Amino acid sequence: MKKTSTRLADGRELIYFDSRDDVVRDAVDRRPLDPVASSTQIRRDPLLGDAVAVASHRQARTYHPPADECPLCPSEGDRLSEIPDSSYDVAVFENRFPSLAGDAGRCEVVCFTSDHEASFADLTEEQAGLVLEAWTDRTAEMAQLPSVEQVFCFENRGAEIGVTLGHPHGQIYGYPFTTPRTALMLRSLAEYKERTGGRNLFDDVLAEERTGERVVIEGDHWVAFVPYAAHWPYEVHLYPKRRVPDLLALDDAARTEFPQVYLELLRRFDRIFGAGEPPTPYISAWHQAPFGTLDACGGIDGVRRHDFALHLELFTIRRTSGKLKFLAGSESGMSVFINDVPPETAAQRLREVASS
């Protein structure tokens, strides 16, 4: 892999990740851009203890542009985009309309391929492996920023999810705090460790799931399953069999096998609802251990970074053909999910639609 870092016209960082070492990336951003102005504020809710990012400048962000004006496609002739070069393998750049910026963190966009009509599931194993390298590199770089405590790599796919740019891409958020979802996991991890005399909750959950009927795919180094208490109609958790706290700690064997397993999962998601259905909307989310607080002496309630288990959660809001799962009163008002599809049924369906 070759990594080339450059700057866009407004000073934002752009990084090319290439599979070949002989590629030269010297194209210049010719757009007359003003410097990025971010008005992000982090406001803490005194009752819930969580945080809200208030980012009014995002109201002006690009919204459903036609394909020939996509800002994530390579630049061509007089059509200039966020990618100055005429082609790329994987490209990462600072978001022009960030939810988090400066002392409030950092937001980056990850373009998985220059092919506007593709999706992640269309990538080759080599291409998917390059995306994994980009995620890992950005996690390592963001972890060094004093404003970042947790790094979150994710993909929103589909208009039903709220995606405003159709080009295959994801995002990376560097939060200046430990997110509420992770804080809940850490609390459960600490309580379980205390209650069981030092056992690891992630290890025991994974061991239990591997013996049951909810396993979807199991390789030599990764296992994918529908969790016992799945929140979403079709939800799969993907774990490396060797517990590691983040993407940086994956060994070569796990890195090699990841594209095979992940691409198979994505392709099965597109087959859930049968032929003729539009592509399945989904969210794909990496959960990594926070940096900083868990590294401190004693960790948090006796939990250290190495106790956390890196994993990916993949889920769709489509519950059946032509119908979506909406977060209504119970989910939005009280955070109590009601799932219409039994997890065992979802796992069976995902096993049945194995891609050829």
Strands (E), 8-138: 13-18, 41-44, 51-54, 90-94, 106-111
Q: Are 227 and 238 in contact (CB under 8 A)?
A: no
| Cα separations in angstroms, 79 against 67, 71, 86, 174, 326 | 12, 9, 10, 31, 38
SS3 59: helix
Q: Are 148 and 177 in contact (CB under 8 A)?
A: no
Element (H, E) at 107: strand 106-111
Note the Cα 72 to chain centre separation in Å.
18
Question: What DSSP line would sit under 112-141, residue for residue?
Answer: --S-TT--GGGS-HHHHHHHHHHHHHHHHH
Per the DSSP assignment, residues forming a β-bridge with 218 are 223
Q: Are 143 and 213 in contact (CB under 8 A)?
A: no
* CA pseudo-torsion sign 155, 160, 163, 168: positive
Residues 6+ away with beta carbon under 8 Å from 84: 8, 14, 27, 28, 29, 30, 75
What is the residue whose two structure tokens read 């929103």?
156
- Residue from 3, 65, 57, 66 nearest 35 by CA: 57
Per the DSSP assignment, residues forming a β-bridge with 236 are 314
| Cα separations in angstroms, 27 against 4, 82, 92 | 11, 12, 15
Catalytic residue among 64, 116, 169, 237: 169
What is the residue whose two structure tokens read 């590691």?
244
| C-alpha–C-alpha distance, residues 44 and 304, integer Å | 25
- Whether 169 sits among the annotated catalytic residues: the reply is yes
Catalytic residues: 169
